[in-house]
Amino acid sequence: MAENSHVLYAREASLDTAQFRRVLAESGLGEVRPVDDEARLKAMLEGADLIVTARLDMEGKPLIGVARCLTDFSWVCYISDLAVSAKAQGLGIGKGLMDEVARQLGPSVAISLISMPDAVGFYERIGMKRMPDAFWISRKR
């Protein structure tokens, strides 16, 4: 993918499960997301309050990135997935998605997420601060 390809960032009310699965798999998140459980992927999309996509501005508008968020649109937004297809990584797509999420939310909403270990540097480079006091209860399945 050419670095100068035009990318369209937009809020989408719904997203096709197959497209979501493909981007998760291509991004590397497929290893830690239920990509083989279509019903669960569908529920994840339906339960999201905000879905922001990155699509190439060309025929078919192929999906190359997605940010899936849970938010109250007032105080805080949790980004549960930030996925960019491997072929589009390193081209600013992840930052573009984060910028569009922030634009959609406005300046009064904080943004939080849990980073994959390999992505920590990316989040630091785009200006996110580490939070030392976070806690987690693991899912059972």
Most confident of 32-36, 55-59, 106-110: 106-110
Query: Angle at CA 19, nearest 5°, toward 88 and 29?
Result: 60
Which has the closest alpha carbon to 22: 89, 92, 84? 84
User: What is the overall mean pLDDT for the chain?
Assistant: 92
Tell me how far apart the alpha carbons of residues 54 and 141 are, in angstroms, rounded to a whole number: 30
Summarize pLDDT for 88-98 with one digit per residue, the tens: 999 999 999 99
Q: Which pLDDT score is estimated for 85?
A: 97
Query: Angle at CA 45, nearest 5°, toward 43 and 47?
Result: 65
Percent of the chain with pLDDT over 70: 96
Q: Which pLDDT score is estimated for 135?
A: 86
Summarize pLDDT for 13-55 with one digit per residue, the tens: 999 999 999 999 999 888 889 999 999 999 999 999 999 999 9
In the chain the domains, ranked by start, together with CATH numbers, are 7-125 (3.40.630.30)
Are 40 and 99 in contact by the 8 Å Cβ rule? The answer is no
Q: Which pLDDT score is estimated for 4?
A: 47
Cα torsion through 52, 141, 131, 75, rounded to 10: 50
Q: Integer distance in angstroms from the first to the last C-alpha of the chain?
A: 36
Give mean pLDDT, residues 57-86: 96
Helices of type H across the chain = 17-27, 38-47, 93-105, 120-125
The residue among 101 and 34 whose pLDDT is bigger is 101
